[in-house]
Chain A
Amino acid sequence: MFYREAGQYKKTYSADMAVFPLLQDRVGIAVILLVAAVIIPFFGSNFFISTVMIPFLVFALAAMGLNIVTGYTGLISLGTGAFMGVGAYACYKLTTYFPGVPIIIWIIASGFFSAAVGAIFGLPSLRIKGFYLAVATLAAQFFLEWCFVRIPWLFNYNASGAIEVPTRWIFGIPITGPNATPMTRYYVILGIVVLMTWVASNILHGRIGRSFMAVRDMDIAAELMGIRLLRTKLLAFALSSFYCGVAGATMMFLWYGGGEASDAFNINQSFIILFMVIIGGLGSLIGCFFGAALLHVIPIILKFGLPAIGVPLAGATAEHLNHLLVGGLIIFFLIVEPHGLARLWQITKQKLRTWPFPY
């Protein structure tokens, strides 16, 4: 009823292979982009933008990175936090040595460093799978975290041992540092996330994405069809780490505005992003956004929303309640739909298609 595809004939293969073959989907994505680009920055408060939207986009980007390797290629990685850290530190070093280059270029470029590191730690994936691979990537997490703390060159020998984000301007507008407004930072992140989501969708819909999924679903058959496993798996790790690295750089430079690696890029971060991917939906790009929203935005709503509607809560109580409710929600969603929110969304679309009839 609301989501009819009847009458939308696809006359060419390119129309049939489009990412959004249906008119309703195209309208939907246009509305979402409009809301994100116009309505939120102009009608959202600074608090909303910097506490809800910016972290949401950063987490969505990191989840996308992990989803490429775990959801699409079927290789569990627990090194996400560390790969994000590589991106943040690479960006820090790059902008220290070349302060004149626009920071956005360095944020993107830091992904390449992360990709290289990710590919190296992806090497064991040829031999081991599943939980054992997860443990091998855990080595990356601990080793890199150790590097972040113990190698002072990485944080420019700061007394604080942390990244101190410098102010960087583009066309006279401060993008990073204490003077950057939340709106500027939001626009930069939004631009990066939209661009990188588009690129991920392109890659995953094509030959490379299909070979990732082939490796995930039946690696023996994939190998016997001429897909070279090592190459494909390393590409998946590199691509995934690229996204994580950019997410880490945006996190440090556009959200945190500086901080210690042991807080931002520790094993907890890896797990949170893994949960986002699992709850959002393995092997689905939209699931990354759902997962990031559920695990990041809902706690904030609980924390600040309840006092706003007049439920008085002490800080500590809110924190505990928060853990309780989010935990409950995760269990609820996993019971309702073990394949994640993305599958739930698919089912909803199917129901909208046939409503008011049951099928």
Chain B
Amino acid sequence: MVPAQHIAPGDALLKVENVSLRFGGVKAITDVSFDIKKGEIRAIIGPNGAGKTSMLNVINGFYHPQEGLITYKGATRAKMKPYVAASQGIARTFQNVALFKGMSTLDNIMVGRTLKMKSSFFWQVFRHGPAMQEEIVHRRMVEEIIDFLEIEHIRKVPVGKLPYGLQKRVELGRALAMEPELLLLDEPMAGMNLEEKEDMCRFILDVKEQYGTTIALIEHDMGVVMDLSDRVVVLEYGRKIADGTPDEVKADQAVIDAYLGVAH
């Protein structure tokens, strides 16, 4: 494995080449190639069942594609492993909120720090010395994220009791706690009302500004996609049909056909 290189802004942080993913006879993704440049917001759009979520699952190693190569931070692999993806800075949120329901907001976000915590089992047993110092250091980082997302008031509430919009926000916080270089957001605005969507857009833009995080975004709200993203890739039935700036994609005939249908 080639050691991870430093990637300058504007260079490709992640490159997906000719990736195909099949489940038995079902072709989820067919020969898709695109790249995500460091520091950009890259939207992945397409009608239902186009393979967008499968694509994210391939990127963070949950699915292993049968064909194709993934280059992340200069290292090329046939497949990612979830642990490697996480430890090299790929974080994600889920389409259906996948929080740890029995735990408080604070603990959920603290789980995001797990990979950064190094204290040994010995000190964990005593919850003292290095283990406690580490807890405090990471608690401080988590509190910063809580401040950033304006969720101070629900710090100690079990997330299962929170309304949907806040759950989405906690999930974003949990992903941010990993200090990701590449943040994969799977429909962060699904099911939200206008105010919640505007809040979420603000947070996404702030994440990009403040932390310099590269973001890959799946979203169905075209207004949001066109406003937020720097470049858009469009999938349909597992194939890439367009790739470019929002304006280019908007004018693309294949995209219009995919979304509006074609007269036969």
A contact set with B: CB distance below 8 Å: 12-14, 16-17, 199, 201-203, 205-208, 210-211, 213-214, 216-218, 220-228, 283
Contacts and interface: CB of A to CB of B under 8 A. Distances in A.
B94 interface: yes
Contacts of A206: 124, 127, 131, 135
Contact of A224 (B85, B101, B121): B85
B140 interface: yes
B119 to A, nearest CB: 7
Interface string B78-101: 000011011100011010001111
B174 interface: yes
B49 interface: no
B126 interface: yes
Nearest to A203: B124
A319 B94 CA distance: 54
Contacts of B134: 207
10 contacts: A202-B127, A203-B125, A207-B117, A216-B100, A220-B98, A221-B100, A224-B92, A225-B174, A225-B178, A226-B115
A295 B103 CA distance: 28
Given A13-B140, A228-B83, A199 B112 contact: no
B62 interface: yes
B124 A13 contact: no
Nearest to B139: A13
B111 interface: yes
Given A225-B178, A226-B178, A218 B101 contact: yes
Contact of A207 (B94, B124, B126, B174): B124
Contact of B82 (A202, A208, A216, A223): A223
A224 B82 contact: yes
Contacts of B48: none
B60 interface: yes
Interface residues of B, number: 40
Nearest to A14: B136
A227 B202 CA distance: 30
Contact of A221 (B83, B99, B107, B124): B99
Contacts, number: 99
A210 B110 CA distance: 8
Contacts of B140: 13
B121 to A, nearest CB: 7
B47 interface: no
B114 interface: yes
A221 B131 contact: no
Interface in B10-49: none
Contacts of B85: 224
Contacts of A225: 86, 91, 111-112, 114-115, 174, 178
Given A13-B136, A202-B124, A217-B99, A210 B107 contact: yes
Nearest to B121: A208
B132 interface: yes
Contacts of B9: none
Nearest to A208: B124
A350 B85 CA distance: 43
The winner among A202, A213, A220, A226 for most chain B CB atoms within 10 A is A226
Given A217-B101, A224-B61, A224-B86, 18 more contacts: A13-B135, A13-B143, A199-B125, A202-B126, A202-B127, A208-B121, A208-B124, A210-B103, A210-B107, A214-B100, A217-B103, A218-B98, A220-B98, A224-B82, A225-B114, A225-B115, A226-B115, A226-B178
Given A202-B126, A206-B127, A217-B102, A226 B110 contact: no
Contacts of A221: 94, 98-100
Contact of A214 (B94, B111, B124, B127): B111
- Pairs of residues from A and B, 7 with the lowest C-beta to C-beta distance, nearest first: A226-B86, A202-B127, A217-B100, A226-B115, A221-B98, A13-B139, A207-B117
Nearest to A223: B82
Contacts of B127: 201-203, 205-206
A13 B99 CA distance: 24
B53 to A, nearest CB: 12
Nearest to B102: A217
Nearest to B61: A224
B161 to A, nearest CB: 13
A220 B62 CA distance: 9
A17 B135 CA distance: 9
The winner among B62, B92, B98, B100 for most chain A CB atoms within 10 A is B100
B106 to A, nearest CB: 9
Nearest to A17: B135
Contacts of A202: 124-127
A199 B107 CA distance: 19
Contacts of A224: 60-62, 82, 85-86, 92
Nearest to A211: B114
Contacts of A12: 136
A208 B122 CA distance: 12
A202 B134 CA distance: 14
The winner among B62, B86, B92, B99 for most chain A CB atoms within 10 A is B86
